Structure 1
Amino acid sequence: MRKAIQFAFSFAIWSIVATAKYNPPLFHFETSSLDNDIVHSHNFQPRGNRQQKPCKTYPSDAEWPSKTQWDAFNATLSGALIATVPEASPCYASNANTSTQCDDLTKSWSNSSLRIDDATSIRSILFQGMTCMPPSYAPRFLFTRPNASTCSVGGFPAYTVNATTVEQIQRAVLFAKDQNIRLVIKNTGHDFGAKSTGMGALSVWTHYLKDTEYIEKYADSKEQDGYGGPAVKLGAGVQVFEAYALAKRYGITLVGGEGRTVGHIGGYIQGGGHSPLTSIWGMAADHVLSINLVTASGTFITANSTQNTDLFWALRGGGGSTYGVVTSMVIKAFPKIPVTTMRYNISTGGNFTQAKFWEAQKVYVDNFEKYADLGHYAYYRVRHVNGEIMHDMTSWVAPNTSATNFRASIAPLLEKWKSVGANLDPVIEEHDNFADAWEAGFPQEAWTWNMRQASRFFPRSVLANDTSRAASFDAIKKVFEEGANLIMFNIRNPPGSEAIDNAVNPAWRKILMFALMFVTWSPTDSVDYVTQLSRNLTYEWNPRWKALTPGSGTYMSESDYIEPGWQESFHGSNYPRLYDLKKKWDPEGVFYAQNAVGSEDWVMGETLLGHLPSQNSKLCRK
Structure 2
Amino acid sequence: MMFLTSILLPMLLSAQSCLATRATVTNPFAAPCFRAENRSNSAGLPSCSEVQSNYTDRFFRLTSAGSYMNTQWETCQANGSQCLLDWADPSNLLAFETPRICEQGSVPLLTAEIENAQDVATALKRAKLLRMPVVVKNTGHDYKGRSSAPGSFSLWTHKLSDMSHHANFVPEGCDATVSAITIGAGVLTGDLLKFADTNNLTIVGGNDPTVGAAGGWLQGGGHSFISNTYGLGVDRVVQYRVVTADGQYLTASACRHQDLFWALRGGGGGTFGVVMEATVLADPKVPVQVALVSFNANDTTTRALWELVLENQLTWSASGWGGLVNQHQALYVNPILNSSAANASMHPLAEFASNLKDAVVKSVFIELPSYLSFFNTFITPSPAPVGENVALASRLIPASLLDSPDSRSDLLDALLASAANVSDIRIFSTTPFSFNSSSELTSVTPAWRTSVFHVVLDRVWNFNATKSDISDQYEALTASVGSLRDITPPASYQNEGDIHEPDHELAFWGDNYARLLSVKAKYDPDNLFDCWQCVGFKSDAPRFSCYI
Same fold flag (TM > 0.5): yes
Structure 1 counterpart of 2:290, which letter? Answer: T
Matched residue of 1:512: which SS? strand
Give the match for residue 24 of structure 2: 82
Tell me what 1:295 maps to: 244
Residue of structure 2 aligned with 1:200, choices 146, 151, 155: 151
Question: How far 1:227 moved relative to its partner?
Answer: 4.0
Q: CA deviation at 1:293?
A: 0.9
Match of 1:509 in 2: 449
Distance 1:147 1:316, change over 3 A: farther
Deviation at 1:90, TM superposition (A): 1.3
1:595 maps to 533
| Aligned match of 2:160 | 209
Match of 2:70 among 124, 128, 134: 124
The 3-state SS of whatever aligns with 1:76 is coil
Which position in structure 2 is the counterpart of 1:355? Answer: 300
- One-letter identity of the residue aligned with 1:544: S
CA RMSD of aligned residues (A): 2.9
CA distance in 2, matches of 1:521, 1:212: 38
Q: Pick the aligned partner of 1:462 from 401, 421, 428.
A: 401
Deviations 1:581-617 (Å, cap 9, x if unpaired)? 1111111111111111111364347766xxx44xxxx
| 2:438 is aligned with 1:498 | yes
Superimposed CA distance per residue, residues 519-551 of structure 1 (whole angstroms, 9 cap, x where no aligned partner): 22345667655443321112x222221110024
Whether 2:382 is the aligned partner of 1:440: answer: no
Q: Is the Cα contact below 8 Å between 1:140 and 1:524 reproduced in 2?
A: no
Q: Give the 3-state SS of the residue equivalent to 2:486 in structure 1.
A: helix
Distance 1:573 1:182, change over 3 A: same
CA distance in 2 between counterparts of 1:245 and 1:417 reads 32
Give the counterpart of 1:71 among 14, 24, 29: 14
Q: What is the total number of aligned residue pairs between the two structures?
A: 532
* Equivalence for 1:182: 133
Structure 2 counterpart of 1:543, one-letter code: G
TM-superposed deviation, 1:361: 2.3
- Confirm or deny: 8 A CA contact 2:418 2:484 kept in the other structure: no
The C-alpha deviation readout for 1:500-534, integer Å capped at 9, x for no partner, is: 51212211111111111112234566765544332
Match of residue 184, structure 2, among 235, 253, 261: 235
Deviation at 1:498, TM superposition (A): 3.1
Q: CA deviation at 1:73?
A: 4.2
| The one of 577, 583, 589 aligned to 2:521 | 583
**Secondary structure in 1 matching 2:346:** helix
* Distance change in 2, residues 1:602/1:530 (3 Å): closer
Amino acid at match of 1:186: K
> Per the alignment, in what secondary structure is the counterpart of residue 484 of structure 2?
helix
Greater Rg by CA = 1
- Would you say the 8 A contact 1:341–1:441 is kept in 2? no
Q: Secondary structure at the match of 2:475?
A: helix
| Unaligned segments of structure 2, at least 5 residues | 76-80
Structure 1 position 397, deviation (Å): 1.0
SS at structure 2 position matched to 1:427: strand
Q: Find the aligned partners of 1:74 and 1:119 in 2 and give their Cα distance.
A: 24
Q: Which residue of structure 2 lines up, in the alignment, with residue 453 of structure 1?
A: 392
Deviation, structure 1 residue 237: 0.7
- SS for the counterpart of 1:548 is coil
Q: Deviations over 1:114-156 (max 9, x none)?
A: 11111121123214326112365599999xx998610021211
Query: 1:412-465, CA deviations, whole angstroms, 9 ceiling, x for partnerless residues?
Result: 233245446664531333222222222212125251413222110101112223
**Shift in CA distance, 116/577, structure 1 to aligned 2, threshold 3 Å:** same
Q: Deviation per CA, 1:203-241, whole angstroms, max 9, x where unpaired?
A: 100001111111121134676xx6422111111111101
Change (3 A) 1:110 1:87: same
Q: What amino acid is aligned across from residue 320 of structure 1 in structure 2?
A: G
- Which residue does 1:373 correspond to in 2? 318
What TM-score do you get using the length of structure 2 for normalisation? 0.89
CA contact (8 A) 2:227 2:435 kept: no
Over 3 Å counting, the alpha-carbon distance change for 1:327 and 1:272 in structure 2 is same
User: SS in structure 2 opposite 1:366?
Assistant: helix
Alpha-carbon distance in 2 for matches of 1:358, 1:341: 23
1:570, distance to aligned residue in structure 2 (A): 0.8
* Contact 2:251–2:257, Cα closer than 8 Å, also in 1: yes
Q: 1:107 aligned to 2:58?
A: no
Equivalent residue number for residue 28 of structure 1: none
Q: 1:499, 1:563 → 2: CA distance? A: 23
SS at match of 1:255: coil
Select the residue among 474, 483, 489 that pairs with 1:534: 474
Q: Distance in 2 between matches of 1:186 and 1:286?
A: 23
Distance 2:151 2:464 in 1: 30
Shift of 1:173: 1.1
Describe the shift of the 1:443–1:220 C-alpha distance in structure 2 as closer, same or farther (beyond 3 A): closer
Aligned pairs (5 A) from 1:296-335: 296-335=245-284
**Conservation of the 8 A alpha-carbon contact between 1:192 and 1:561:** no
Which amino acid counterpart does residue 183 of structure 1 have in structure 2?
V
Counterpart of 2:336, as a letter, is: N
The separation in 2 between residues aligned to 1:544 and 1:148, in whole angstroms, is 42
Contact persistence 2:228–2:435 (CA under 8 A): no
Residue type of the alignment partner of 2:65: A
C-alpha offsets along residues 298-355 of structure 1, whole Å, 9 cap, x if unaligned?
Answer: 111111122211101100111000110010111111111111223342113xxxx522
Q: Spell out the pairing of 1:146-161 with structure 2 (5 A cutoff).
A: 149-161=100-112
CA–CA separation in structure 1 for the residues paired with 2:124 and 2:344: 56
Cα deviation, residue 174, structure 1: 1.8
Listed as ranges, the gaps of 5+ residues in structure 1 are: 1-57, 383-390, 614-622
Answer whether contact 2:239 2:278 (CA < 8 A) is retained: yes
C-alpha separation in 1, matches of 2:6 and 2:360: 66
Q: Which moved more, 1:456-465 or 1:416-425?
A: 416-425
CA contact (8 A) 2:439 2:449 kept: no
Normalised by the length of structure 1, the TM-score is 0.79
